[in-house]
């Protein structure tokens, strides 16, 4: 089982839409209403939104692939594309998602390490992210990797306002 992590472009829009919707649904269906989930998926993974993000020079997407199958992805932002801080000395990990069938196989860790290596290449001072306060698995993952909470912000999932814990890692 060889893992390949590669940067993607606008040519991969459909695959990104598919992996994005699938992994988000797998992760959050149990904790949200169908209406809120559907509204979020429609807005966040529309052709227009993903095209804009894929064409943004301050955002990058990476696929995790095993035997040419996309099994997860990473989205990072820097500069003005960051969702909150917009600090030129920082890199934001906006998304790390892996298909449930591949959980426990260190793919999330591999995507995380890719983000950290990019942050070090860019010589930023820290990496930050927001994680839903009820996603204990993700919170523990980031704590294990040295992240510490520093603030909270509101994340809108459909019409539901949820609290994200903002965490950072000094480099």
So which residues are the catalytic ones? 142
Q: Residue 145 phi/psi, 5° resolution? A: -90, 10
Encoded tokens for 132:
């839903």
Nearest to 160 by CA among 45, 31, 54: 31
Q: Answer whether 105's CB lies under 8 Å from 141's CB.
A: no
Q: Answer whether 92's CB lies under 8 Å from 85's CB.
A: yes
9: number of CA atoms within 13 Å, CB side?
1
């Amino acid at each position: 089982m060889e893992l390949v992590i590669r940067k993607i472009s606008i040519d991969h829009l459909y695959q990104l839409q598919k992996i994005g919707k699938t992994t988000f649904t797998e992760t959050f269906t149990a904790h949200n209403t169908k209406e809120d989930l559907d509204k979020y998926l429609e807005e966040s993974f529309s052709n227009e939104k993903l095209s804009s993000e894929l064409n943004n020079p301050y955002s990058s997407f990476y696929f995790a692939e095993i035997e040419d199958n996309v099994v997860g992805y990473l989205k990072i932002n820097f500069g003005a594309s960051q969702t909150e801080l917009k600090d030129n000395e920082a890199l934001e990990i906006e998304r790390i998602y892996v298909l449930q069938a591949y959980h426990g196989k260190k793919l999330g860790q591999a995507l995380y390490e890719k983000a950290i290596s990019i942050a070090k290449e860019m010589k930023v001072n820290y990496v930050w992210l927001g994680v839903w306060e009820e996603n204990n698995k993700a919170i523990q993952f980031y704590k294990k990797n040295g992240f510490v909470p520093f603030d909270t912000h509101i994340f809108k999932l459909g019409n539901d306002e949820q609290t994200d814990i903002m965490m950072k890692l000094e480099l």
